[in-house]
Amino acid sequence: MATQTPKPQEIAKGLSHQPPSENWMDTKPEFRSGMYCHPVKVASLEGMGGAFAREWNPTEADWKLPADWKGIVKDGLKDRLRRFRSFQVFMDICVRCGACADKCHFFIGTGDPKNMPVLRAELIRSIYRGEFRTAGKILGKLAGGRKLTEEVIKEWFYYFFQCTECRRCSVFCPYGIDTAEITIIAREILNLLGLQIDWIGTPVNACYHVGNHLGLKPHTFKENIEYLLGDIEENVGITIEPSFNRKGAEILFVTPSGDVFADPGIFTCMSYLILFEYLGLDYTWSTYASEGGNFGFFTSNETMKRLNYKMYAESKRLGVKWILGGECGHMWRVVHQYMDTMNGPADHLEVPRSPITGTVFENAKSTKMVHVTEFTADLIKNGKLNLDKSRNDHYTVTWHDSCNTSRGFGFLEEPRYVLRNVVNNFYEMPDQTIREQTFCCGSGSGLNAGENLEQRFRGGLPRANAVQFVHEKHGVNMLANICAIDRAALKPLMDYWVPAVNVCGLSELVANALVIPGEKAARSTNLRGEEINDLREEAGLEPIEWPEEDEEGGEAGEEGEE
């Protein structure tokens, strides 16, 4: 497992992007520890009514495929060729120009030619030609066709769970061929054979039955947030009493559950709580719709719909006017490009209107769901937040555009506007690594597991390397983003490749800068419980002279610089 992960220099030295001499159809993937994810647990797959749940192991020869697996795959392919114009067109028109070849983070980080997006798609396209098209049937390999074998299925499993559906290749393709679309469909087909990874299958099952990926039951979900409230009280000095499942609230707030659970996501979650309290927002959390993320998106369109259903259903039950969504990448691709189509129309909701500024979000008039960052940008634009940027001066920040919000949404300027208003030191990474050309964290689309660390660190190399560039050039020490998977995945990635850089959600920087009525006279510790003056000293800044503390402030003062 994690112990076998090679050192950064070992990976760096061994990297070559030259393809081998033998034809790619003659090579097989090696299921090496650290480079693949574990199969889904039987109970998780059965919980969702998935087919052919069984114990199996990718490293063993026999994958215990169902008897008629070949028929299932062929029918599955035919069915999807018929239902998705994208899939049919993408199977037919690739000219193999190679423009996408070096755009994939997994290709850059592994050198494995089958990670070139064109070849990843050819893994299926070759079957499409060899099984369904006359020329491929007759000429076989010469015409790029091959027959469906168990080896092909194993190869699909390896490479379609080594694609994060980030769509970077699609930006450069002259026909817009989107490997994410192909991977989504490939995973649907693998699912038909009961082939799924646990880091997707188990969260999906938990989300469906319990309400969130982590399987936090209603009382635990509430307790987790209450725990954060305790930290807020200690570090900021304000008391917050959010509501859960409250009928009649104006707004339902939904965020990825990773934010109520793990560092550094919890600091983002604390920031939401602080911001909404500051605004006096009439909102509620839901323990039922307690998951913004949607791992169903990484299994099948049907599963995505089943999980996403809860947001609209809960907003209807609670009678809220509109939905506010937290910082998340793929959640926002789903909310933006799929939700209304799958589970709409949301006629029970109203066109979102900020109760603070009066701004009507016309751009969300059908989904009725607003991104917390555009909500915040609107607040700042209208002067509704009292911000002291200098409180973030010990951070030199760079911005990581998340794949999904960039290439499946176009949410580029809103976060930058917020960022510029809450920090003084902001440097962009090189142009070819940001905005629509941004690089994936290497762990998206459900690959953020513990057993595939080498795969993740390799896939994250281009992102980490761009961070290293601005770290060395501008002294960047904080990587900000609006994605829960990024928050979870970029931290270990930075620790691996660029140890001096930390990771945070955008809202955390907002909360840091927010001057809150009733806050402790000395906010000498940040949300993370770190002494701000220690951080300032590290950054070469003068310490802040905190005012005298009263009562509870004493504790922080003891450890603080005097």
Partner 1 sequence: MSFIFSLVAVTVLVLVPLVGVTVADLRWLFGVVVPYAAVATFLIGVSYRVLKWSNSPVPFRIPTTCGQAKGLPWIKTNKLDNPCSLPAVIGRMFLEVFLFRSLFRNTRMEYHQGPKVRYGSSKWLWLFGLLFHYSFLVVLIRHLRFFTEPVPMWVQIVEHIDTFFEMGLPLPGPDGLYVGLPLLAQSGVILLAAATLLFLRRVVIAQVRYISIAGDWFPLLLIIFIAKTGIIMRYVLKVDVVTVKKLTMSLVALKPELPADPISFMFYIHIFLVSFLFAYFPFSKLMHLGGVWLSPTRNLVNNSREKRHINPWNPEVKFHTYAEYEDDFREQMIEAGIPVEKEA
Among 42, 72, 143, 238, binds partner 1 (CB under 8 A): 143
Which of these ranges, 65-73, 96-104, 150-158, 484-492, lies near partner 1 under the rule CB under 8 A? 96-104
* Interaction between residue 132 and partner 1 (CB under 8 A): no
Among 31, 56, 409, 427, binds partner 1 (CB under 8 A): 409
372-381 vs 265-279: helix crossing angle, rounded to 10: 50
Nearest to 527 by CA among 222, 226, 223, 231: 231
**Least distance (Å) between residue 502 CB and partner 1:** 21
Rounded CA gap, 521 and 169, in Å? 50
Residues 331-342, buried b or exposed e (16+ Cβ, 10 A)? Answer: bbbbbbebbbee
Nearer to partner 1, 47 or 543 (CB): 47
Which of these ranges, 63-71, 209-217, 273-281, 524-532, lies near partner 1 under the rule CB under 8 A? 209-217
Please give the distance of CA 211 from its chain centroid, rounded to a whole number.
18
Q: Is 550 helix (H, G, I), strand (E, B) or coil?
A: coil
Among 37, 119, 311, 498, binds partner 1 (CB under 8 A): 119
Which of these ranges, 12-20, 60-68, 156-164, 478-486, lies near partner 1 under the rule CB under 8 A? 12-20
* Interaction between residue 77 and partner 1 (CB under 8 A): no
Name the DSSP class of 337. Answer: I
Helices (H), 403-505: 403-407, 413-422, 453-459, 461-474, 484-497
- Residues 464-483 within binding reach of partner 1 (CB under 8 A): 465-466
Instruction: Judge if the upstream peptide bond of residue 345 is cis by omega within 30 degrees of 0.
Output: yes
Nearer to partner 1, 298 or 395 (CB): 298
Residue 7: phi, psi to the nearest 5?
Answer: -70, 155
DSSP string, 365-428: TTT-EEEHHHHHHHHHHTT-S-B-GGGGTT--EEE---HHHHHTT---HHHHHHHHHH-S-B-P
* Interaction between residue 155 and partner 1 (CB under 8 A): no
Rounded CA gap, 183 and 177, in Å? 12
* Interaction between residue 337 and partner 1 (CB under 8 A): yes
Instruction: State the SS3 of 125-177.
Output: HHHHHHHHCHHHHHHHHHHCCCCCCHHHHHHHHHHHCCCCCCCHHHHHCCCCC
Binding mask 283-302 for partner 1 (x = CB under 8 A): ----xx------------xx
**Least distance (Å) between residue 344 CB and partner 1:** 5
Residues 6 or more apart whose CB falls under 8 angstroms from that of 139 comprise 145
- Residues 483-522 within binding reach of partner 1 (CB under 8 A): none
* Interaction between residue 330 and partner 1 (CB under 8 A): no
* Interaction between residue 97 and partner 1 (CB under 8 A): yes
Among 213, 330, 407, 528, binds partner 1 (CB under 8 A): 407
- Residues 254-283 within binding reach of partner 1 (CB under 8 A): none
* Interaction between residue 89 and partner 1 (CB under 8 A): yes
- Count of positions on this chain that bind partner 1 (CB under 8 A): 120
- The answer to whether 350 and 328 are in contact (CB under 8 A) is no
Nearer to partner 1, 223 or 559 (CB): 223
Rounded CA gap, 162 and 230, in Å? 40
Among 127, 177, 385, 479, binds partner 1 (CB under 8 A): 177
Instruction: Say if strands 322-325 and 251-254 run parallel, antiparallel, or are unpaired.
Output: parallel
Nearer to partner 1, 65 or 490 (CB): 490
Residues 6 or more apart whose CB falls under 8 angstroms from that of 203 comprise 213, 214, 295, 446
Structure tokens at 334: 């789903």
End-to-end alpha-carbon separation of the chain, Å?
A: 45
**Least distance (Å) between residue 366 CB and partner 1:** 5
**Least distance (Å) between residue 152 CB and partner 1:** 16
Rounded CA gap, 55 and 48, in Å? 16
Among 32, 64, 83, 473, binds partner 1 (CB under 8 A): 83
Helix or strand run (H / E) with residue 192: helix 179-192
DSSP string, 25-86: GG------TTSSPPBPPHHHHHHTT-TT-----TTSS-----TTHHHHHHHHHHHHHHH-HH
**Least distance (Å) between residue 539 CB and partner 1:** 26
Nearer to partner 1, 145 or 560 (CB): 145
Environment class of 420 (CB within 10 Å of its CB; exposed 0-12, middle 13-18, buried 19+): middle
* Interaction between residue 217 and partner 1 (CB under 8 A): yes
* Interaction between residue 309 and partner 1 (CB under 8 A): yes
Among 36, 63, 84, 276, binds partner 1 (CB under 8 A): 84
* Interaction between residue 310 and partner 1 (CB under 8 A): yes
Among 98, 450, 518, 529, binds partner 1 (CB under 8 A): 98
Which of these ranges, 151-159, 307-315, 484-492, 549-557, lies near partner 1 under the rule CB under 8 A? 307-315
Which of these ranges, 271-279, 331-339, 386-394, 482-490, lies near partner 1 under the rule CB under 8 A? 331-339
Among 53, 123, 163, 173, binds partner 1 (CB under 8 A): 173
Nearer to partner 1, 11 or 511 (CB): 11
* Interaction between residue 27 and partner 1 (CB under 8 A): no
Nearer to partner 1, 118 or 485 (CB): 118
